[in-house]
């Protein structure tokens, strides 16, 4: 859980003692976003503007040249508050807001932003368009654009995650089953697998290297794998653009796999194997 510095939560806290905003919690908010004037600015941070209605809180950060550097949009704030944050430097975050009030017998805690991936982008975008008609067009247009871009980037990421996982499965199952065709469709022609081995007699460590064809031939020669070894545990450790790092663990070995997306297809280019 994180408390994001300079966000809507901080604006509430920093302004609740001035401008009469301590009374806003009992205020009947309008159904169109309007700007709160003269909000407190933090030294060393970009200038910010605050817009509010009965459903949204919107904080916009501006550069010295009055260009939009980022924003945080809190929505559904009376029932199940969430926040979509975007900045030029760090990209997107989507969080639920833990108000700190759900701890019986304890004082109210500091509100926190908690990771939460579920985002109903069409519903939020449509409502924001209706309720932002009085905002400057550059602000409303950018927020709508980023809402839709976030949904597309999330969809693309989910598609890639499925494809990466399937490539790892094809590699592992192909090796277990001695299925050369299944392995070859996910192994890049220049793939190399290095096996880290400790000699049980001498205790010395060594690396054994195999090419893709050697990996396929070895799998075909030992396809009668006991069923108890067919356990597969795949973890996607990291993805960045067209590169992915995957951990694939089974009963007797663990593979650390590097993949690259070649021509829209995820291919394995490097494997480091350790024996369990």
Nearest Cα residue to 258 out of 185, 266, 157: 266
> Does residue 243 belong to any structural domain of this protein?
yes
The boundaries of the domain holding residue 219 are: 161-275
Domain CATH for 241: 3.10.450.50
> Does residue 167 belong to any structural domain of this protein?
yes
* 128, 178: one domain: no
Q: Give the rounded percent of residues in the chain with a pLDDT score beyond 70.
A: 75
> Does residue 266 belong to any structural domain of this protein?
yes
Torsional class of 75: left (φ above 0), alpha (ψ -120 to 50), beta (otherwise): beta
> Does residue 120 belong to any structural domain of this protein?
yes
In the structure, what pLDDT confidence band is assigned to residue 22 with cuts at 50, 70 and 90? Answer: very low
**CA–CA distance, 210 with 218 (Å, rounded to integer):** 10
Q: What is the pLDDT of residue 156?
A: 65
Which two three-digit tokens encode residue 4? 């994001």
Kindly report which listed range (10-19, 200-209, 221-230) carries the lowest average pLDDT score: 10-19
Residue 35 bridge partners (DSSP): 51
* 172, 116: one domain: no
Q: What is the mean pLDDT of residues 126-152?
A: 91
Which two three-digit tokens encode residue 152? 């597309």
* 72, 187: one domain: no
User: Structural domain tally of the chain?
Assistant: 2
Mean of the per-residue pLDDT values of the chain = 80
* 81, 170: one domain: no
**CA–CA distance, 231 with 264 (Å, rounded to integer):** 29
**CA–CA distance, 126 with 121 (Å, rounded to integer):** 8
* 114, 179: one domain: no
In the structure, what pLDDT confidence band is assigned to residue 31 with cuts at 50, 70 and 90? Answer: confident
> Does residue 257 belong to any structural domain of this protein?
yes
Nearest Cα residue to 45 out of 93, 3, 7, 85: 7
Each residue's pLDDT tens digit, 165-219: 899 999 988 888 888 889 999 999 999 999 999 988 888 999 999 998 888 887 7
Radius of gyration of the chain from its Cα atoms, rounded to whole angstroms: 26
Q: What is the pLDDT of residue 78?
A: 82
Q: What is the pLDDT of residue 110?
A: 47
> Does residue 152 belong to any structural domain of this protein?
no
> Does residue 145 belong to any structural domain of this protein?
no
Distance of CA 44 to the CA centre of its chain: 28
Each residue's pLDDT tens digit, 228-267: 555 578 888 888 889 999 999 877 789 999 999 998 899 9
270 contacts 257 by C-beta, under 8 angstroms: yes
Q: What is the pLDDT of residue 98?
A: 65
Mark which of 72, 101, 135 sits at the end of a domain.
Answer: 135
């Amino acid at each position: 859980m994180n408390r994001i510095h300079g966000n809507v939560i901080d604006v509430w806290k920093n302004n609740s003692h001035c401008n009469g905003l301590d009374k806003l919690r009992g205020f009947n908010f309008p159904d169109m976003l309007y700007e709160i004037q003269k909000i407190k600015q933090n030294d060393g941070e970009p200038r910010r503007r605050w817009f509010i209605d009965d459903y949204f809180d919107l904080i916009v950060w501006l550069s010295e040249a009055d260009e939009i550097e980022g924003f945080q949009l809190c929505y559904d704030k009376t029932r199940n508050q969430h926040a979509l944050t975007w900045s030029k430097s760090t990209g997107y975050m989507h969080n639920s807001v833990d108000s700190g009030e759900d701890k019986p017998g304890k004082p109210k805690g500091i509100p926190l932003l908690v990771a939460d991936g579920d985002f109903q982008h069409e519903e939020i975008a449509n409502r924001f368009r209706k309720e932002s008609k009085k905002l400057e067009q550059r602000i409303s247009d950018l927020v709508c654009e980023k809402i839709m871009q976030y949904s597309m980037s999330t969809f693309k990421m989910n598609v890639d995650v499925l494809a990466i996982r399937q490539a790892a499965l094809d590699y592992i199952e192909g090796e277990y089953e001695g299925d050369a065709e299944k392995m070859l469709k996910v192994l890049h022609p220049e793939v190399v697998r290095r096996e880290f081995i400790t000699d049980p007699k001498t205790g010395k460590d060594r690396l054994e290297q195999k090419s893709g064809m050697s990996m396929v031939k070895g799998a075909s020669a030992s396809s009668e794998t006991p069923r108890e070894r067919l356990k597969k545990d795949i973890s996607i450790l990291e993805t960045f653009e067209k590169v992915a790092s995957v951990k694939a663990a089974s009963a007797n070995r663990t593979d650390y796999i590097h993949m690259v997306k070649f021509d829209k297809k995820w291919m394995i280019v490097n494997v480091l194997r350790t024996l369990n």
